[in-house]
A and B are shown apart, each in its own frame.
Chain A
Amino acid sequence: MTSAPVAPKTTSTGPTRPTTSLAERGAAFVVRWGFIGVTVALIAFFVITEPNFRTVDNVFGMLKFIAPTAIAGLGVMLAITVGGIDLSVGASAGFAVSIAAWTMVIGNQVGVVAIGVVLLGGLLIGGLNAFLIVVARIPDLLATLATSFVIVGLKLLIVDGKSISSQMSLSDGSTAPGKFTADYLWLDRGSLGPIPVPVIIFIAITALLWFILERTRWGRALYAVGANAEAARLAGIRVQLYRTVAYMGCGLLASIAGLLLGARIGQGDVSAGNSLLLDAVAVALVGVSVLGIGRPNAWGTALGAILIAVMVTGFTMVGLPYYAQDFGKGIVLLIALLFSFTFSRRRTVVTAGSTTAS
């Protein structure tokens, strides 16, 4: 509507600078630092009460333990960045575990080949998700839920529903030709200096994603697609392409998470990855709020994962039963969501479950 001289319109020329009251600034401070404060307090509590907690081994142990979750969470973060969600990361990781084992044990290949096959599989799964969401226009939540069933089913068909271990006996009575090779197991057991390989991969991927998202034009375009897909399209951004890339990246990261998981277990456990999905989504959502940024981001996601590692490890040391951990994780996620959606002045761009626009 255009303004008329008669109408008492107050489309002011000045910016509506909010007068930040003390309460508002306090709230902003809590949103910005509250989560980190909680993490630090938790760590401090465990450091004081549990001597074992403060050892270097434990620090790396915790990071190593959480690496697969964190990497899968970074994948979910990518999907959230373009305004979507991916519920197939758990299934993709489990698929990776079994396929890596199958390639090495049944296919008698070395670990490097298995890794290549798994990464390719991850990209294909991501591509399938992208096709269903971007081209076939199925809402992301439903598409990835369906593909996760397909992926799990396909995995079970390939491995005959069995966990694959080195030199296992096959149905025809013979022994499987291959075994988990050392180069594959190095993914879990190797280390560079004091730092275990999974921790290096975790930190490297986080840093790389942070750089891409925050510092490059491709990252900016990904965020723009999530913030306002129509505006991004009119600004000349190939929205469909970026969404495809995000889902393929998510598939790739989920398969990397599966590789680390498989190397840790040392066999192709068919149930591996089952619990990964909820943790990965939780970590990505916590990541949105952790630093008060209000949008998905790599370091926030990593911090979210670390917070969960601290909780799980600490609670275990304190002697809480394992079944209490889910309760703790749930509370943490709820608090994170309250920070993102309820207390924060910023608009949160998580639109998980949104249907494909444009």
Chain B
Amino acid sequence: MIDSSIPEGGELATLSPVVSLSGVSVAYGSNVVLTDVTLDFFPGRITALLGANGAGKSTLIKALSGANPRYSGDIAIDGTVLHLSSPVLAKAHGISTVHQKVADGIVPGLSIAENVVLDDLANASRHPLRNTKQSFLDARAALATLGLDWPDSLLAQDAARLSISDAQLLVLARALRGTPRLLILDEPTSALTAAEADRLFDVLRALRDTGLSIVYVSHRFGEIEALADRVVVLRDGLVQHSSERPFAWHEILHDMLGRATELEQTRVDVRRGQGVVARVHGVPLLPAAAPLDLEVRTGEVLGILGLIGAGKSELAELLAGLARPASGSLELDGEPYTPKRPSDALRSGVVLVPEDRQRQALLPGWSVAHNISIPFLKISSALGTLRTSRETSRAREVIDSLGVVTAGPNASIDDLSGGNQQKVVVGRWLSASPRLALLDEPFRGVDISARREIGDRLKELVATGDAGAVVLSSDVDEILEVADRIIVLVAGVVELDAYADETDRASIVGAFLGARTRDQRSTHDEGHPK
């Protein structure tokens, strides 16, 4: 995957890559999350790294930054293959990383100057006594590379008092100390305003012009259009796409969201719902987003497609009683619906299969039956005393209806594969015959057979005609496979709302593109402060 068409011509073509990966793979246990990635990063170029949730972006960054030494394949720096066994080693060889959460990179209680030179504090070869004067000098030198001139009085202040965009600049200045060859930025603008982001872009362009190679991870297409020289798309741990300017966005999105090779048949069994089970009325999903109106109908599976930050999880949380609408209102069965906590939602027949199975759904070490019965303790007991037979029969029902592969209701949940654990979680929530089932990324880490079984179970639920189901996902094909009606959500706004047989993959991807051009325009409208 060597860049064949370098636009600037001969001068750059003679340059050798700063960092090149060949056949880099990462597996966690039997789960392969990065497969045979071969990429070159050239000096003076900004490479945008794109991919949906779980595509392998973070895994790739971890391997590159030395945070995950357990990769296979070769990473070569200036042509020399090295094993990047620690972040310190990676940094020593010129690979610097700015992680997504800026707050994690700031040590509150230490001064701004000390935060800039933080790496020195951990450096064993440095003099153990802290030299305040020297650290101020070093910090000023580092900040100067970004064109910043912060006075000593500011440098002496507690770093916790910095605004988020200044903190972003601080960690960037730190990353640039020791003149790195490759700078990795993971969603650097996620906490910045448009003007602050533009300020950062100017800095990045200036850095690129000094010959730095930059890897830029972002979900904002407008930014990438404005900044990047090259786009690399990861999906399912594979490099799906790599292209130079001008970017073919349609193709990029297609490669990022779809799994075109797998199934391309049109659905024939699209249901159309009759009644309305839930209604969202003028609720802004994100702080700055326009109010959203949305209808969930009974008798159909609604698929909501959106990337991270599109407001998917926020919508699910509103309906499941985890968050309250900032304004506007919710309706369930035509009645006002104001759940204060998950138990209220549960009583009203609204269930949520949360996004993060391990963190939000499973009870580790517990049996399958006990994992399934946990929301239904009241029904499973008489006079407060749990009835094992009720728990077991509910568990058997779930195991049978979803084809959970397990030794039985008493097997430990820990002994099940990821897909079967997910079936248990989905089955748990559907076993209550809910009015409205919300499934947030239900197919993540789930193999295709489990996906089919979960999809079938959902269709079975809505086929009764008085229940609605909502699947929220960032994968077009998952949505196309399971949903009767499809909504594309971008930045909290509905970009497309159509039944599956009225639309196709191209229109769905087009809905993202429509949003992108607006996104881009608004970035340009902000103008450059300098």
Contact = CB atoms under 8 A, between A and B. Distances in A.
A236 interface: yes
Interface in B470-503: 475, 478
Contact of B417 (A7, A11, A217, A237): A11
A137 interface: no
Contacts of A14: 405, 417
A171 interface: no
A1 interface: yes
Interface stretch (A152-160, A222-230, A329-337): A222-230
Nearest to B441: A2
Contacts, number: 157
Contacts of A22: none
A3 B414 CA distance: 21
Contacts of B341: 233, 236, 238
B385 A215 contact: yes
B441 to A, nearest CB: 9
A16 B444 contact: no
Nearest to B477: A2
Nearest to B428: A235
B360 A234 contact: yes
Given A4-B238, A227-B363, A11 B31 contact: yes
Interface residues of A, number: 41
A217 B363 contact: no
A18 interface: yes
B385 A216 contact: yes
* Residue from A1, A18, A231 whose CB has the most chain B CB atoms within 10 Å: A1
Contacts of B406: 15
A11 B419 contact: yes
Nearest to A6: B238
B499 to A, nearest CB: 23
A1 B236 contact: yes
**Size bin of chain B's contact surface:** 35 or more
Contact of A11 (B359, B370, B377, B445): B445
Given A13-B417, A234-B361, A3 B386 contact: no
* Residue from A3, A12, A13 whose CB has the most chain B CB atoms within 10 Å: A3
B31 A9 contact: yes
* Residue from A7, A227, A234, A347 whose CB has the most chain B CB atoms within 10 Å: A234
Contacts of B128: none
B160 interface: no
Contacts of B411: 15
A4 B384 CA distance: 46
Interface in A1-58: 1-18
Interface in A333-358: 346-347, 349
Contacts of A224: 363, 374
B407 interface: yes
A11 B420 CA distance: 9
A1 B55 contact: yes
A237 B375 CA distance: 7
Given A6-B236, A216-B385, A231 B35 contact: no
B464 interface: no
B340 to A, nearest CB: 11
B435 interface: no
A236 B342 contact: yes
Contacts of A141: none
Contacts of B259: 2, 4
B343 A230 contact: no
Nearest to B59: A1
Interface in B16-39: 30-33, 35
A2 B405 contact: no
A189 interface: no
A162 interface: no
Contacts of A230: 359-360
A221 interface: yes
B211 interface: no
B384 A3 contact: no
A189 B443 CA distance: 64
B235 to A, nearest CB: 7
Sorted nearest first, the 3 A-B pairs with minimum C-beta distance are A1-B54, A4-B236, A217-B377
Given A1-B445, A217-B377, A217-B380, 12 more contacts: A1-B54, A2-B259, A13-B447, A13-B449, A14-B417, A15-B416, A17-B407, A217-B378, A224-B363, A227-B365, A228-B362, A236-B347
6 contacts: A2-B54, A11-B447, A15-B416, A217-B378, A217-B385, A230-B359
